[in-house]
Amino acid sequence: MAGRRTRKAGSGTHIKHRPGNGPDDRGASAPLFQQIGDILRDQIATGAFDGEAKVPSEHELAERFGVSRITAKRALDELAAEGLVSRRRGYGTTVIRRFSETPVDANIDELLDNLLMFDIKTNVRLVEFGYNLPTDEVRRALRLEPGAKVLRVVRMREYAGQPLAHTLAHLPEPIARRLKREDLKERPIVALLEKSGILVGSAEQTITATNADTVMASRLGVATGSPLFCVARTIFDQDGRAVQHIRVHYRADRYRYTMKLTRVKGAARRLWTPAAEPKT
């Protein structure tokens, strides 16, 4: 029967989704409560529970997916811990986080700056702060020798009461020792580096699209696999020394950028170029 769980010999149990609940093969190796949670996150993200609609109860989920009520309860408890739903005895489970608000809008120049800077519209929360060995990607970006440690800083930014961006920064240990943990809750790292005497000179940057893994999805309040906007930037001082590598993931439904283009006629072809801003 659709909606019941099926068993694969030697591979554990996975949810067989009903039409509209998501692809059958996604998360097949994950625990049952996590599979159910992913389905509910998708439905929350797409507005299935807008208005007066309530999230199914433990009993309804257990019946729908053929699992125990304990499993269904854990799925709902996980969503409540992430701040996606509210659970009240005698009232049921309701969505407390909406995904249809107007996103932050900026032109391309503002986007590249605002991704890494704080402003009065956002709140910043420090999630991680500690020294460890970097991944190979970070080590190459910072041009470090094997065995060199880095400071790992994770911060969350909220806009209008909802998660907006997940910021992961790495700094070489000798440079990071100049920073104070408490300052990272209030000011951007670049500003702190410049205040400490480092003269920032240049940066290399890439902009990509990616999907949210389980940790990122939980922190940003989206479904696992949701699209994210990603900016990676390596910053160098005026002597060409790498001083910071930062990777920012933005919720695609909470941020967008716009560009004004001008049509330019060339000798061989016609091109679009960014329009010049009017002088003031």
Tens digit of each residue's pLDDT (9 = 90 or more) over 184-204: 877 888 888 888 899 888 989
**Low-confidence winner among 9-23, 67-81, 142-156, 244-258 (lowest mean pLDDT):** 9-23
The average confidence (pLDDT) of the chain is 77
Q: Quickly state the pLDDT bin for 69 (edges 50, 70, 90).
A: very high
* pLDDT recorded at residue 8: 35
Select, from the ranges 11-20, 21-30, 96-105, 138-147, the one with the highest average predicted confidence (pLDDT): 138-147
**What is the predicted pLDDT for the residue at 256?**
67
| More reliable by pLDDT, 170 or 101 | 170
In the block, which residue shows the tokens 């605002």? 114
Would you identify the CATH topology of the domain 104-258?
Chorismate lyase (3.40.1410)
Predicted local confidence at residue 28, as pLDDT? 52
pLDDT of residue 22: 40
Higher per-residue pLDDT: 16 or 176: 176
105-136 pLDDT, tens digit per residue, is: 544 444 445 544 444 467 788 899 999 999 99
Cβ–Cβ < 8 Å for 29, 36: no
Over residues 63-81, mean pLDDT? 90
- Give the residue-averaged pLDDT of 71-83: 86
High-pLDDT (> 90) share of the chain, %: 28
- Indicate the CATH number of 5-95 among 3.90.226.10, 1.10.10.10, 1.20.1440.130, 3.40.50.720: 1.10.10.10
Q: Is 62 helix (H, G, I), strand (E, B) or coil?
A: helix
| Residue-wise DSSP of 185-209 | GTS-HHHHHHHTT--EEEEEEEEEE
Q: What is the DSSP letter of 55?
A: B
First-to-last alpha carbon distance for the chain, in angstroms, is: 68
Which sequence spans correspond to the domains of the chain?
5-95, 104-258
Nearest to 246 by CA among 260, 232, 262: 232
Q: What is the helix (H) or strand (E) element at residue 79, kind and residue range?
A: helix 69-81
Encoded tokens for 22 = 């998501």
In this prediction, residues 82-86 reach a mean pLDDT of 76
Contacts of 150 (CB under 8 A, 6+ apart): 131, 132, 133, 134, 138, 139, 142, 144, 170, 171, 172, 173, 176
Q: Determine the residue type at 106.
A: A
* Identity of the amino acid at 180: K
Looking at 79-83, 138-142, 219-223, which range is the least confident one? 79-83
Q: Does pTM surpass 0.75?
A: no
Q: What is the mean pLDDT of residues 43-53?
A: 69
